[in-house]
Structure 1
Amino acid sequence: MDAGNLLPLAVEIAREAGDLARRRREDGVAIAATKSTLADIVTEADREVEDLIRARLAEARPGDGFLGEESGVEEGTTGVTWVVDPIDGTVNYAYGIPHYAVSIAAVTGEVAPGHWTAQAGVVFSPAAGELFRAARGAGAWLGERRLSVSTPSDAGALLATGFGYDPATHGPDLDRVRRVMPAARDLRRAGAASLDLAYVAAGRLDGYFERGLHPWDHAAGGLLVIEAGGTLWGSPGGAPGRDMTIAGSAGLVERLRILIEG
């Protein structure tokens, strides 16, 4: 599999999808439905953007599989599956906060974290006009700048995290924050996992941890971190998943893992 052949397509479609999301945000946002809780929303734009991505991929690569946040999984015949979050940070998007992203990754193997191999990934921030991209074995990039994860200073690590929508999870999430704060310089909670991971890859954040992620939340951003020389760990099984995802330099990830697991 030549990951470099998949990346230009992901870049092209992410830009088109991001432009559509930005235009729909300017037009005004209609809430289409809720998901896990009343706070976990889907906008009409989420569905429209995912439909666009899916259609463009089907035109360019018929036979590939697809796993989207809004439309679920469709198995393919080529061995390649596209893992897509059409608008990561939907609540930000609905409120007009310009921190959301289109996330597109191409993976091979079984469509499950820890079993797939990420081949190409793009995280595009339409409001900022920034497109983070990576291909397996070719590094992670923002424009012409090759990205590299940072090493925390003596002041501690600048960390990011997120909280689930279910109120029952908020207490455990806050307890987890208390456990990691001895390693932290400060904490950010921006509301878009794909951008948190992209920022770790770019050295804008030292590390990131969060419980409750889905495959589309980390498929592209996780590849960015790895190709920027970082480590991606999680649970269950050491792969990023519903129980935990941690990203950063190898030493920081190990320290956060120990603090989180108590």
Structure 2
Amino acid sequence: MAATKENPIVFYDLADANGTHWSFNTYKARLSLNFKGIPYRVEYISFPEIESRMAELGVHPISDTFPRYTLPVIADPSSGPDDTPTYVSDSFKIAIYLDEHYPSRPIFPTGTRATQNLLMNSHFLTITYTLLIPLVAPSLPTILDTRSVEYFAETRGMFLTPLPEEEQLAKWKATRDTFGGLAKAMQAGGGRWMGGDSPTFVDFIIGSFFYLVERLEGHESERLRDMCTWDDGLWGRFWDGLRHIHSTTLTKPELRIHPHLPNFQSRNF
């Protein structure tokens, strides 16, 4: 049964201190849902609650070691009101699932899935975990609730220590050089996106880098402004296009904050 406005997909997302989205990992799944125009509602979960909530739902662990569960996760409704939904973890696998079950506006045009997967694993992981996260992760305590900061410090604390200025400058230069190579590839394709005239999952990954900087350092971030000027403004135009997809849905999702979070509330928008 396809998701409907009355029976939408449930999108499990990471919450910041204000009970709204911030994660660049879940952002890729959000863009996938929005791009395809699939009805969904959001349940926000804080870092310390991920494992207990996913186990409560019966979601299959992605690993036998830490972390056993990660977000994003979606729950695609079943045909019967009392039947178990289909749970899918990981933004790449979610995009594949959505293409297979909601084929309109493909995220992986025919013949591109393997190439996009190769780019993700061989190229973009380096940008994320070697270059960008060490630069911006020290700002995480400014947007997360206290328990989430403590959890992050216990599990990934090495990212919270600011790098020496010289190392920051070197990583930022390497980031710009890497984006220069991506710009050449995009221009060679002759389109607005890496996928040509229509965005693909690779574009959502690249967009998540901009989102990461914006959410952790703010809309007026010096780094974000710098990124948008790279390659004669190509990346500023790219980011504007992704932000449009982010803000456009065929049905506005209901937002529900998991009750274990501070300031629990339910609201529509």
The TM-score by the shorter chain falls in which range?
under 0.3
RCO comparison, higher one (Cα < 8 Å, 6+) = 2
Greater strand share, 1 or 2? 1
Larger Rg: 2
TM-score by length of 2: 0.26
TM-score, scaled to structure 1: 0.26
